[in-house]
Structure 1
Amino acid sequence: MFKDIPLLERYGKAAKMGFKLVELPFGYTEKPEDLKAAADQNNLHHVLINAKNDDNKGKLGLAAVKGEEDLFKQCIGETIRYAEVLGVKVVHVMAGDGDPIKDLDTYKVNIRYAARELAKKGFLCVIEPINPHFRSTYFLNSFDQAKNIIEELKEPNLKLLFDVFHCQLICGQITFQINRLQDIIVLNYDLFFGHIQVSQPPHRNEPDTDGELNYEYVFRVLKALGKDWIIGGEYFNVKDNADWVKKYGLEF
């Protein structure tokens, strides 16, 4: 959201729309103290950040990139420093580009390392499949793949970040996938139980814009599970409001 304005100014914009919680995908161009100050000035709380990767040089992560293991570890260390300053409990560790078969061992070793380092600080490590139409070379592009890795590694703080937009473009069957994957989406932490990201396919705008999904139904499915989900609006905003929140019976 708010890609047309500088990062530190986006906090005020989000607050004016009514938001109280924010995600920070790529914030390493700013000092963590400045990010925390911007959030505090607008009564906002960070709930999720992406792990640092290669100084934001266009890479979507390093976990599956063979030969970059040392850099990956350095980035996890820097991520933890940011997370501690920002008060974040959830870190999304992105895979980067890679072959789902040839680079699987590299990915598993790195994700295990990240999960264990984050666990030392009481943080959650989440992974997220990204649809191949968005980035064809991204390593993690299947929910089955993510599920198998999480279940194999058996790290207590390793969970799934479920993005409805990516799910629709990867495999569809949103209701089936939510119910099938709920055990690895659930985040047993004090702040919340589960984290879901939403946007409207195919253009990735607000959930109540024209598109492929009936979000009234999607949110009803989530509510039926009886969990206090945190819903992240990961979309390209075309409106100056977030009326969809109240429209679908949600709260900021």
Structure 2
Amino acid sequence: MTPRDASEPNGSRWSDLDRPPLNITALRRGLVHEGGLWSEVDVVQRTGSTNSDLVARAAEGRAAEGAVLVAEEQTAGRGRLDRQWTAPPRSGLFFSVLLTPGEVPVARWGWLPLLTGVAVATGLSRAAGVDTALKWPNDLLVTVRGEERKAGGILAERAGDDGVVIGVGINVTLKEDELPVPTAGSLELAGAVSTDRDPLLRGVLRALEEWYGKWRAAAGEAGACGLLEAYAAGCATLGREVRAELPGDRAVVGEAVAVDGDGRLVLATEEGVQEPVGAGDIVHLRPA
């Protein structure tokens, strides 16, 4: 599907007062500057998947590190294992970024989605005033009437030999009757003090730039840059009994006791074994 540019007539800022479009001029002014990470910011009205589009741009040499692609609506948004992610137009933040952490060993790139989760939680806490938690490995949780609900997700995909595209989807203004499943949530349902998507996106991207810079400076050592500690502090999975469903109908049940230096979840089983589980190996992570 061909993306439509946000400057088209039906992208007028006054076409939907409840869900106004993003202000591309203000976003570029606030995010793209000399010496900063973000090199370009594009907003399209509608596309299938910002991740797929940005991976394609990178493959064609049309995107450099720091490229940000935002869609007002995604018709084929994807989560892990190609699970579908849909939401009404302008009801959330749906964007992807291109990163090329060349000086970081590839073995440590698995931290990028976890790093992004910390950045999203940090940015939303500052800009929306919402307490968020992270479900390992890639879900953003909010509390709605005392119940934990998923309000966002993160997807990382390789882009060539030297790049990674990180996709983020966050439900911002979804109402109860718009939720894809009853267990979903949104910032508005969680009592956000602001649901203005412009400052929310700027806040998340600035936090991502900050954490990415620290991680790169530490050559991807999550413990050395404070990322491991920050992720563990915000991870709702730790301390809970969970069931990790793996390929081949194999499952591991145990208490989630730690996230290790490689970003894997460590489960303490009844047999007294501590077994690490990698995000790339897991099919489902459920309460035990």
- Shorter-chain TM range is under 0.3
Give the TM-score of the pair, scaled to structure 1: 0.28
Structure with the higher fraction of residues in strand conformation? 2
> What's the TM-score once normalised by structure 2's chain length?
0.25
Question: Which structure features the higher share of helix residues?
Answer: 1
Higher-Rg member (1/2): 2
